[in-house]
Amino acid sequence: MCTVERLVVTLRLREGTQEQASELIAAGSPFDPAELGLARHAVYLGDDLVIFVFEGEDVEQRVASLVNDRVSSASFGAWMPLLAGSPSLAHEVYHWEAGG
């Protein structure tokens, strides 16, 4: 049985970089989520925060190389000039769904 795990990566944006962040998101994912083995991937943009949600089996292992690569444009490298700090990981500890 396949267990879908969720991992969230949050990026705090420097002031005045939201438009650049929006453009990066609009350009699409710099990696192929299916090739990475993800079941789902979403990005949320707030005033000073970007939230990446990764879902899939063994998701932390699959995403680790992306989060740790601060240079490559196929990872979080393109985001580095926009950040006020380092990316933060958040692991799912609770979720609810109807019928579950």
Q: What's the CATH code of the domain at 29?
A: 3.30.70.100
Does 100 reside within a domain? no
pTM of the model: 0.84
Residue 97 located in a structural domain: no
Tens digit of each residue's pLDDT (9 = 90 or more) over 48-86: 999 999 999 988 888 877 776 655 545 677 888 999 988
Number of domains observed in the structure of the chain: 1
Asked whether residue 99 is assigned to any structural domain, the reply reads: no
Residue 37 lies in a domain: yes
Higher pLDDT, 45 or 86: 45
Please state, in angstroms and rounded to a whole number, the distance separating the CA atoms of residues 24 and 54: 17
Is residue 51 a part of any domain in this protein? yes
CB atoms within 10 A of CB 32: 10
Q: Give the residue numbers spanning the domain of 40.
A: 5-91
Q: Would 28 be classed as within a structural domain? A: yes
Domain assignment present for residue 96? The answer is no
pLDDT-wise least confident of 9-18, 48-57, 88-97: 88-97
Q: Which two tokens stand for residue 19?
A: 């438009």
- Alpha-carbon distance of 16 to 5, in angstroms, equals 33
40 domain-assigned: yes
